[in-house]
Amino acid sequence: MDHHNDQHPSLNLSMAFEMENNNNLNPSSSSSSRTDRKTIERNRRNQMKFLYNRLNSLVPHQIPMEATSLPDQLKEAANYIKRLQIKLERMKEKKDRLIMRTDRSMISETTTTAMAAQGLMMKSPHIEIHVKGSALEVVLITGLEFQFMFSETISLLHEEGAEIVNASFSVVNDTVFHTIHSKVGDSGLSDHAAASISERLKKLVYA
């Protein structure tokens, strides 16, 4: 008689039951893992789609977005960013030039203010003309009774085709300091044109 098989019938039954339970659990666990991966991948795709749409909304398109492939859209966005960077650099350079010009004007105003405080400024009108390329700067110094010359100077510059960029004035005691920044054309003033404008302005002030 085989005693080995008769001694552990309950143990064999328990092991079989446990194996069956494990087999029942594994498919569920594997299915849950696959579901999690699908959810993560779907969320990732949705996030990328959102980012692409966001990027496209910020980029002006010459061709409808639906008619271009994704690589072409990304290339167009990269080129647009480069153009913005170049434009930003140019604006920064322009800002730096304006700051330098303002600093020079402040130094000039400080000097004239000091001279006026010392009684060294002339009461009769005085004009200074500075030409650099297409930029024309006019500094007009007058007494209070000669302020009309400011508007006449502006009119004369308009007649010569100048575009007034900025005009300002300050008053120190009885002296008025006018500063006019203008631009004539894009290619710069010729020596003859600059001399002609300077002569007309001086005749206006000193005649």
- The residues facing 179 across adjacent strands are 139, 168
**Strands of the 126-132 sheet, one edge to the other:** 126-132, 135-143, 175-183, 163-172
pLDDT at site 61: 65
pLDDT at site 140: 92
How many whole angstroms from its chain centre is CA 155? 34
d(CA 128, CA 137): 8
What count of other Cβ atoms lies within 10 Å of the Cβ of residue 54? 9
Query: Could you say which residues of the chain have pLDDT below 70?
Result: 1-32, 61-67, 102-123
> 92-114 burial, b for 16+ CB within 10 Å, e for fewer?
eeeeeeeeebeeebeebbeebbe
What count of other Cβ atoms lies within 10 Å of the Cβ of residue 182? 21
pLDDT in tens, 148-199: 888 999 999 989 888 899 999 888 888 899 999 998 877 777 788 888 899 9
What count of other Cβ atoms lies within 10 Å of the Cβ of residue 157? 21
